[in-house]
Amino acid sequence: MPNAPPPRVVDVKLLGLLIAAVAAASLAACGGGASNATNESTQTTMSPSTRATPSSTPNSAMDAYPIMSSLDGHLTGPWTNTTFKTTGTMTWDVTSDAVHRTVTIAIMLTGNVLGAAAPATEHIELTHLATGVVQGPSAAFGTVNGVITPDGRIHFQLTNLPQTSIATVDIAGIVKQGTSIAFGYTVTMTNASTAQGTVTLTKQ
């Protein structure tokens, strides 16, 4: 199998990891194409810049850094496509940087992802968390738009995905301070059929 292409720096300001993981799990059961990932880890920076400038006066009404940084450590749990009865596991290793107000997450998936073996572990740096906004293009997962609130509510949508049979992926859930993250997703196909699933990760 050929090596995967080098990771692309994409302009997604927040939670690109969640988006990638959920879409991968969803597309597996919906007949997504095979992945060319190898067992080598990859690095992606989810930001317009490689390092965010720390904010001296973060806005508490929008700032998602505290809730995301509370997940520091190891989280693991199942992903399940409840429509097609497929499942696997997801693992996060979370490291926060209080000086730069960034969160780095290493993600590992098991199960039938993108119609093939699970992809390589990916390391993603989340920057600009102070705004709580999810917005930007991703080569793998299309156009991303959404929000995360300081109390941990998440809601975002993927459109313009490379898989032309998929119209949208909608994701909603909750981050619980220092303990877990859980969310559901709905994949809507261009023929109007849908598939649904859940992800639950608990801090170990």
pTM of the predicted model as reported, rounded to 2 decimal places:
0.73
If you average pLDDT over every residue of the chain, what do you get? 75
Tens of pLDDT, residues 109-119? 888 754 446 66
Tens of pLDDT, residues 147-166? 888 999 999 898 998 778 88
Q: Give which of 111, 106, 107 is closest to 78, Cα–Cα.
A: 111
The CA distance from 57 to 60, in Å, is: 9
- All structural domains of the chain, each given as residue ranges with its CATH number in brackets, are 16-45+58-203 (2.40.128.20)
> How is residue 116 annotated by DSSP?
B
pLDDT band at 143 (very low <50, low <70, confident <90, very high): confident
> How is residue 163 annotated by DSSP?
S
Q: Give which of 125, 100, 115 is closest to 47, Cα–Cα.
A: 125
